[in-house]
Amino acid sequence: MAYSSSLGYPRIGANREWKKALEAFWSGKIEEAELHAQLQDIRLNHLSNQRDKGIDLIPVNDFSYYDHVLDTAAMFGMIPERFEYNGGPVPVSVYFAMARGSKDATACEMTKWFNTNYHYIVPELGRITPVLTENKPLAAYREAKDKLGIEGKPVILGPLTFLKLSKGYAASETDAWLDRLLPLYVQVLKELEQEGVNWVQVDEPILVTKLSDTDVSRLQKIYQTLKAAAPGVKVMLQTYFEAVERYQEVTQLPVDGIGLDLVHGGAGNRQSIRDFGFPQDKVLGAGVIDGRGIWKASLREKLDLLNEITATVPSERLVIQSSCSLLHVPVTVQAETKLQPELLGALAFADEKLEEIVLLSKAVQSGASVISAELEKSEAAVTALKRSGERNRTDIQQAVAAVSAEPAQREAAFAKRLDVQQERWQLPILPTTTIGSFPQSAEVRKARQLWRKGEWNAEQYTNFIREQIDLWIQLQEEIGLDVLVHGEFERTDMVEFFGEKLAGFAFTQNGWVQSYGSRCVKPPIIFGDVAWEKPMTVKETAYAQSKTKLPVKGMLTGPITIMNWSFVRDDISREQIAYQLAYALRQEVEALESAGIGMIQVDEPAVREGLPLKEQDQKGYLEWAVKAFRLTTCTVQNSTQIHTHMCYCEFHDMIDSIIDMDADVISIETSRSHGELIQSFEENTYPLGIGLGVYDIHSPRVPDVEEMTRMIDRALRVLDPKLFWINPDCGLKTRGIGETVASLRNMVEATRLAREKY
Ligand code: GLN
Ligand code: ZN
């Protein structure tokens, strides 16, 4: 019997009910009891939905009030001392304060969950003694059983992953921490065993990253201890996002099942199964359905894959499942009514993926013929999209192939360009600029709504945008900035704006996924060959330039950022998609240049987000990511100045790649990195133009002149004043107008003082 299993279901609800409930509570619109009631409804609804779809192993405790890593920290009483907490089950007020900050204490750090766009709250171990505050998995199991008669499979974040994702301890203390944590895991498992729980899913995604011999010993200790303490519960050790490291040792751990991602890292995992076999005393959780992508599977291909696997692992020891939790995909395709049929037919979100899992498990159990109609249907859907005009733009494919074979080099080297540009622009030393966007006031958002709803015609909207540009050009001149921007008032979002204007993109009505906490994003879908059709930004930029003698910087989003913040097709490589985007954006760069715009910024805040988990893949990725940027920007004249911008990133291990991008000027978010960024310049020299943000834009606080002077002085201890620019950390669209103007005035004043010194 091949079971079907779900590894985790999206929390947000088909209509983002979850988000709405949380936000209603935070804003005081509903009481705590009402919050619990609403979230329970949502949770139970998700469970019965999975049961109705025919899933055998239904996850419980995958649900969360914010984030599952935070849940684990709260369950173990790891409440940093700055939050007021007196033991026992963690109150929601403390829980949310850790996630979002409170008036007395700053929030815990948040960071990316492996290579996804989901963000988790980083546990702080510090001086806390962990205790079990409540057995959450047990509570979730009981709830499913009592309310719905569902025999749930509790999901727990594994000890090694939990420890490795936490901060606030030295590497040498790892084992001591493990000794403190392990008894708590034991207690959780024992109680689950007493309750009669059958399967527990212990998530250990850290097993796909580099593991030392010590880590392997730790794993042995963890899983031996758990097995000895609670031999009656079956543990499915679940990995995902890549091929598991140390396959032979991991598969020998004393657990009852091993879950492998057979999509992302599928080749590596399959190779390991072929080379080393699979232990006969274990179940294989076969992650064959892509839990992160949005595409319908070819069931035929998946059955072929499962047939390959059943040569090693007989079907009675197979669990058919998604490659990872479905947290990373939208809930259901059903709400989509506006997509073209070839695309719509080829989409599968969480609910549709569960259906695929159930179909495959039926086929494995009783033969492919029992699903022959569905096999044909899935094949037809996949083929229809493959044959669609959007995926077969030979003009684009040929042009991109030709362009990406070129060296992607600016005509002259930086030193020469710097001279030519300096002669053209005559900028003062330490030039001042901003990152692109200015405050998107309620008025701006309102105007966009009126226009989208058709209450305003294009002319009314254009006039409104022009007034905003007029206002801000005037303000920027008054403030005394050297390089101006038009302000990005016409853009809601830096990816959506371009996606809507390029061919090959589609937008769902309801394809939301959780990014962090209650914040959801609706990524565009790159489903066809990407093509530039007409200028996207020239009108507004040229208008702004016509209003001032100072240079106005054009503003584009780079190819890698657009790709990393979209759902992408999986029939061609990400590298190819990046080059298509680069070729399209290059045409926009050229259009701006032809319209007289002499400085063009191509934002790439998301380069690091696409970094592969496996070290051996990182170099290759960075090479083609850099190449995509260069393809976008390399055809301009020497006198045209190319800027780029990155939000805070761990810079030290990427510095060579950033230099390789060969942008004339880069601006980087700095203040949140607490000096680490500056330090990386002590170890490396940066040979191109650079602006390290001199103030944090995430806070409404107006920084004073002294504070920015300190930032400038600190940066100029390691950077060349002749190459240094002065700018805020990032775009200002979330800030108020008053505080923005005040902060920029102080920035210009700090610059004036600095110019006297350098
Ligand atoms: N140009 C964009 C802005 O100013 C950059 C945003 C970003 O880096 N995320 O809003
Ligand atoms: Zn930024």
Average pLDDT over residues 281-288: 98
Q: What is the reported pLDDT for 106?
A: 87
Ligand 1 site-directed mutation target among 434, 437, 557, most atoms within 8 Å of CB: 437
pLDDT at residue 196 tops 70: yes
- Ligand 1: residue of 476, 489, 645 to mutate (most ligand atoms within 8 A of CB) is 645
Atom 5 of ligand 1, residue of closest alpha carbon:
731
Average pLDDT, the chain: 96
Q: What is the mean pLDDT of residues 622-627?
A: 98
Which phi and psi angles does 519 have, rounded to 5°?
A: -75, 125
Contact 530/580 with Cβ under 8 angstroms? yes
In the predicted model, is pLDDT for residue 623 greater than 90? yes
pLDDT at site 674 = 59
Residue 343 has pLDDT above 90, yes or no: yes
The yes-or-no verdict on residue 671 having pLDDT over 90 is: no
Query: What ligand 1 atom has the least distance to the C-alpha of 647?
Result: 8
Please give the pLDDT value at position 403.
Answer: 96
Give the pLDDT of residue 644: 98
146, β-bridge pairs? none
| 487 CA to centre of ligand 2 in angstroms | 14
CA distance 50 to 53: 5
603 ligand 1 Cβ < 6 A: yes
Residue 739 reports pLDDT greater than 70? yes
Q: Where in the sequence numbering do the catalytic residues fall?
A: 698
pLDDT, mean of residues 58-70: 98
- Ligand in nearest proximity to the CA of 558: 1
User: Does an H or E element contain 526, and which?
Assistant: strand 525-531
Taking residues 486-508, report their average pLDDT.
97
Going by CA atoms, what residue is nearest to atom 6 of ligand 1? 731
The mean per-residue pLDDT over the stretch 334-354 comes to: 97
Q: Please name which ligand lies nearest the alpha carbon of 435.
A: 1
Q: Is 645 in the pocket of ligand 1 (CB under 6 A)?
A: yes
Please report the ipTM that was assigned to this predicted complex: 0.99
What's the whole-number mean pLDDT along residues 415-421? 98
Q: Residue 322: pLDDT above 90?
A: yes
Residue (of 561, 566, 558) closest to 584 by Cα position: 558
Annotated binding site for L-methionine: 435-437, 488, 603
The pLDDT value given to residue 647: 87
The phi, psi pair for 714, rounded to 5°, reads -65, -40
Neighbours of 392 (CB within 10 A): 12
Model confidence, pTM: 0.96
pLDDT tens sequence across 570-619: 999 999 999 999 999 999 999 999 999 999 999 999 999 899 999 999 99
Sequence ranges of the binding site for 5-methyltetrahydropteroyltri-L-glutamate: 16-19, 112, 519-520, 565, 609
pLDDT at 672 over 80: no
Q: Are strands 513-516 and 519-521 parallel, antiparallel or unpaired?
A: antiparallel
DSSP 720: -
Q: In this model, does residue 648 exceed pLDDT 90?
A: no
Give the separation between CA 643 and CA 555, rounded to whole angstroms. 9
Index of the ligand 1 atom closest to the CA of residue 437: 4
Binding residues for L-homocysteine are 435-437, 488, 603
Residue 419 pLDDT class (50, 70, 90 cuts): very high
Nearest to 543 by CA among 584, 492, 597, 622: 597
Residue 557 CA, ligand 2 centroid: distance in Å? 11
Q: Could you tell me if 550 and 485 are in contact, meaning their C-beta atoms sit under 8 angstroms apart? A: no
Can you list the pairs that 379-385 forms with residues at least 24 positions away whose Cβ atoms lie under 8 Å? Answer: 379/298, 379/299, 379/300, 380/345, 381/296, 381/345, 381/346, 382/295, 382/296, 382/298, 382/346, 384/341, 384/342, 384/345, 384/346, 385/342, 385/343, 385/345, 385/346, 385/527
449's enclosing H/E stretch is: helix 442-452
Name the pLDDT band for 531 (thresholds 50, 70, 90). Answer: very high
With a 6 A CB cut-off, is 731 part of the ligand 1 pocket? yes
User: Which of 488, 552, 600, 744 has the most ligand 1 atoms within 8 A of CB, as the residue to mutate?
Assistant: 488
Tell me how far apart the alpha carbons of residues 570 and 141 are, in angstroms, rounded to a whole number.
36
Report the pLDDT averaged over residues 102-112: 90
Write the single-letter amino acid at 572: I
How many CB atoms neighbour CB 29 within 10 A? 11
Mean pLDDT of 718-725: 96
Q: Is the CB of 666 under 6 A from ligand 1?
A: no
Q: Which residues contact 316 (CB under 8 A, 6 or more apart)?
A: 1, 2
pLDDT tens digit sequence for 78-91? 999 999 999 999 99
Q: Residue of the nearest CA to atom 3 in ligand 1?
A: 731
CB distance 649 to ligand 1 below 6 Å:
no
Tell me the average pLDDT across 258-278. Answer: 97
What Å distances lie between residue 242 and 79, 124, 269, CA to CA?
Answer: 31, 26, 8
Q: Give the contacts of 614 (CB within 8 A, at least 6 positions apart).
A: 208, 209, 242, 243, 265
